Copies of this chain bind each other. A is one copy, B any other.
């Protein structure tokens, strides 16, 4: 009977992940214990948990002074204590409510990882699900420390920021869970930032492709890597709030057949962007990849990239970066001016607005509807970039608010 149970995929199992603000203090831990208790009355539940809000930063700042390439092993051991604290507190809290619960760190769980080439962040190789299934079979709610793993030597590793999301999705994938619920401090994925657009509403679902675009566009609800992982293993993910009642947003893996679905799913915006345009590149593609290489060496993330061949064969090459990187980019370009290219110009105080939706793939005229919202501000447009499911505009920050509102009206009226 038990063996049979251990071999089946767990069709009645849900994985619930709670982030740092959801376990910020004992009051919050008690709130999520109630959520877990309710869920456990209907389903088998496995919990994945982050460190208490601010704890990972506190631990990192303690070790920062001595941090170097040689002691990443120790920094990982240090950081991994954050999730041990929150998971054992939650297990104790659940036990005080009369439930059986046990915390498991990555070592106990044999959550095996491999370091990436930078030796800093690890990716998950495998998880010992037999242990989790055995605990569930004995009526125990396993509380798993997020963000951490171990390597083949038994040394702790960490999965990088947002790593607990990745842990949760990986656990759900391995256990073939019915659903992976990511509890956050927002109600779900919105059609636009509710702080900027009054009518913004929680979306019932977004496709995983849209979520990938949105995660990359400043929507902080779900870490990019966990969406990629969910996409790969088709994990049914739902994003919802641990602070207030909400339906949440499902991540789906097939395009909706619902005809009423808007062609556009969400509109995101990000201020504090800077744009650089380079003229007279010296050696075709080589020159642009050389410039991008120089940026990568300094860990500068280059965001939107646009390249255009002029009639006369010259190359216009534009890209955007976070405004905070402007000074460094400027100094790199100054150093290479005259060798790789003739000259460059920079612009700052820009915003990036993205219109995302799988619907636009099958519908023409989305671009023209987008441009219709730019009435009277078209001259301020600095850059346009498009993909199959996204149109990105870069324009003066002063126009961000009205443009986002206008786009939201156009596609969500």
**Which residues of A pack against B, CB within 8 Å?**
26, 59, 62-63, 65-68, 70-71, 73-75, 77-78, 80-81, 84-85, 87-89, 91-93, 95-96, 102-103, 105, 107-108, 154
Bound CA–CA A68/B88 (angstroms):
13
Residues of chain B within 8 A (CB-CB) of A91 are 71, 74, 77
Query: With A95-B71, A108-B154 given, is the CB distance from A88 to B103 under 8 Å?
Result: no
Bound CA–CA A74/B143 (angstroms):
11
Q: Is B89 in contact with A78, judged by CB distance below 8 angstroms?
A: yes
Q: Is B107 in contact with A89, judged by CB distance below 8 angstroms?
A: no
Bound CA–CA A71/B71 (angstroms):
34
Bound CA–CA A300/B358 (angstroms):
71
Q: A58 CB to closest chain B CB, in angstroms?
A: 10
Q: A51 CB to closest chain B CB, in angstroms?
A: 11
Complex A-B: 7 CB contacts under 8 Å: A26-B65, A68-B95, A73-B102, A81-B84, A81-B85, A84-B84, A108-B154
Q: Is A75 in contact with B63, judged by CB distance below 8 angstroms?
A: no
Q: Is A66 in contact with B85, judged by CB distance below 8 angstroms?
A: no
Bound CA–CA A85/B63 (angstroms):
9
List 12 extra interface pairs beyond A66-B89, A66-B95, CB under 8 A: A59-B85, A65-B96, A66-B93, A66-B96, A74-B91, A75-B88, A75-B92, A77-B87, A78-B85, A80-B84, A81-B81, A107-B108
Residues of chain B within 8 A (CB-CB) of A85 are 59, 62, 78, 81
Q: Is B89 in contact with A62, judged by CB distance below 8 angstroms?
A: yes
Residues of chain B within 8 A (CB-CB) of A80 are 84
Bound CA–CA A26/B66 (angstroms):
10
Bound CA–CA A73/B104 (angstroms):
11
Residues of chain B within 8 A (CB-CB) of A68 are 95-96
Q: Is A84 in contact with B77, judged by CB distance below 8 angstroms?
A: yes
Q: A120 CB to closest chain B CB, in angstroms?
A: 15
CB closest residue in chain B, given A154:
B108
Bound CA–CA A89/B93 (angstroms):
29
Bound CA–CA A95/B75 (angstroms):
12
Bound CA–CA A352/B93 (angstroms):
43
Q: Is B78 in contact with A88, judged by CB distance below 8 angstroms?
A: yes
Q: A154 CB to closest chain B CB, in angstroms?
A: 6
Q: A275 CB to closest chain B CB, in angstroms?
A: 40
Residues of chain B within 8 A (CB-CB) of A102 are 73-74
Bound CA–CA A95/B95 (angstroms):
41
Bound CA–CA A407/B91 (angstroms):
54
Q: A19 CB to closest chain B CB, in angstroms?
A: 19
Partner of A77, one of B63, B71, B88, B95: B88
Bound CA–CA A107/B106 (angstroms):
12
CB closest residue in chain B, given A78:
B88
Among A59, A67, A88, A96, the one with the most B-chain Cβ atoms within 10 Å of its Cβ is A88
CB closest residue in chain B, given A52:
B62
3 pairs of A and B residues whose beta carbons are closest in the complex = A66-B92, A81-B81, A66-B96
Partner of A78, one of B73, B75, B84, B96: B84
Bound CA–CA A75/B89 (angstroms):
8
Q: Is B77 in contact with A103, judged by CB distance below 8 angstroms?
A: yes
Bound CA–CA A178/B108 (angstroms):
34
Q: Is B88 in contact with A63, judged by CB distance below 8 angstroms?
A: yes
Q: A122 CB to closest chain B CB, in angstroms?
A: 16
Bound CA–CA A80/B62 (angstroms):
18
Residues of chain B within 8 A (CB-CB) of A73 are 102
Q: Is A62 in contact with B95, judged by CB distance below 8 angstroms?
A: no
Bound CA–CA A192/B93 (angstroms):
46
